[in-house]
Amino acid sequence: MHPTHNTLPERVRAGSVEMLNLHLAAAIDLHAQVKQAHWNVRGPGFLAVHQFFDTISTAVEDWSDKIAERAGALGGVAHGTLQVAVARSYLIPYPHGIAEVPAHIFAVAGSLAAFGQAIRNAIGETTNRGDVDTADLLTEISRAVDLQLWFVESHTALA
């Protein structure tokens, strides 16, 4: 931990930084997964879905940046390399070899949902630890994940 005038106890800050780095790894993975869908989607509505996935990837990149900057603000170090993301991401690997819009919609929705659930769990952890500011950031990200998930799932036919 770097020296800081942040008044949260160091043990609280260190715990939050560790948790933030876990979610940073997953956010970097999620960004790559959405770009994978963006680059490889095919089928009816291609252009709209291709551009849609690009919009989602931009949002995910913003979440990564906010997570990393919070770790730095707490006096920690953001571990945002691809090597760390590969080693620490809790998301299931993105399926290769898919092309059709429905398959990518399903895969992206699953990854967004898993990321959102983990972020919601972390809100409680950081609140219980006494870091309500990190919990607030995670709440903001959780709402944004839910919004993107709604947009993605709106591309599926309802039964």
Phi, psi (degrees; rounded to nearest 5) at 90: -95, 0
Which pTM does this prediction carry? 0.94
Q: How do the pLDDT tens digits run along the chain, 159 residues long?
A: 888 898 889 999 999 999 999 999 999 999 999 999 999 999 888 899 999 999 999 999 999 999 999 999 999 999 999 999 999 999 999 999 999 999 999 999 999 999 999 999 999 999 999 999 999 999 999 999 999 999 999 988 654
- Nearby residues of 136 by Cβ (< 8 Å), 6 or more positions away: none
Between CA 115 and CA 119 the distance in angstroms is 6
E-state strands within 26-88: none
Domains with residue ranges and CATH for the chain: 10-153 (1.20.1260.10)
